[in-house]
Amino acid sequence: MPALPPSDPARPPRPPGAARPRLLVVQALAVQPLAAVLEESGYELLRAADALAAADGLGAGPALVIMDMELPELPGDGPLALLRRLAGSGVPVLTLSRARGPHGVEALCEAGASECLVKPVRMSDLLQRIEGLMAPPPTAVPVEPRPPTARMAVRERDGHCTWQTPQARTLMAAHFPPPWADHARLPPEVLAWLHREALRRRAGAPPSSLTIAPRTGDTRQRLSFTLTNGDDEVVGEGHWLLVLDRPA
């Protein structure tokens, strides 16, 4: 089986003097040709032919285990049991098995396999999976929780609100005194904008928003409205979906 040449662009060369990643290969004779490919790709190999040798190999601190599931059945410690022991060490385990073999992918995953490849294995696929399993995990970036969205569905004809989220109800009550909030209707200035915006949208114009400052004059408490198309089955025929927000 031919090995990938060292100049393969898919694998950049390792820096001079860099430590060779160590792999524990638990294998039967059927996958011996893989060893040459892995060594030419810059890996140091620890070979094990049975459960006892595999346990010894774990003590050498491999970064990854490649396990051939065609190992001979051992009394009290068959291939699945050995896979559980190897995976329990915290080292990722990549298994190699045949499509019609005694161990299906689901059983291998339940036993702790990190990746499962079906033989015959393409060298490029094997090397790609190894690199993926050995790559450092991405640095977690904290995600700011998004505030709940304030939405309301309103009837275009008269501005009647058929439903609204609690956030929309709170914003409307804070910006518009009764009777508009009490009767769940848009105030005249918002309804007039809704009629104009609906005509613009039907004509193919891009969306625009309406921003209203509160009567207190505090611009930090401005309220904006944006019109979006809503599914008739959700918001009702002749209705529009309004998104409310306090612009920064």
The verdict on 79 and 112 lying in the same domain is yes
Q: What does the pLDDT look like over 93-116, one tens digit per residue?
A: 999 888 777 778 888 888 899 999
The conformation of residue 218, written as its DSSP 8-state character, comes to -
- The alpha carbon of 211 is separated from its chain's Cα centroid by a whole number of angstroms, namely 36
36 in helix, strand or coil? Answer: helix
Q: 71: which 2 tokens?
A: 């190992």
The verdict on 208 and 107 lying in the same domain is no
Q: Tell me which H or E stretch contains 209.
A: strand 209-212
* Cα(72)–Cα(77) distance, integer angstroms: 10
What is the model's pTM?
Answer: 0.49
The verdict on 114 and 193 lying in the same domain is no
Total domains, the chain = 2
Q: Where are the alpha helices (DSSP H) in the chain?
A: 33-40, 51-58, 79-88, 105-110, 123-134, 166-175, 188-202, 232-235
The verdict on 111 and 169 lying in the same domain is no
Q: What does the pLDDT look like over 121-151, one tens digit per residue?
A: 878 788 888 888 887 766 656 656 555 678 8
Phi and psi torsions of 239, nearest 5°: -115, 160
Q: Where residue 164 sits, what CATH number does that domain have?
A: 3.30.450
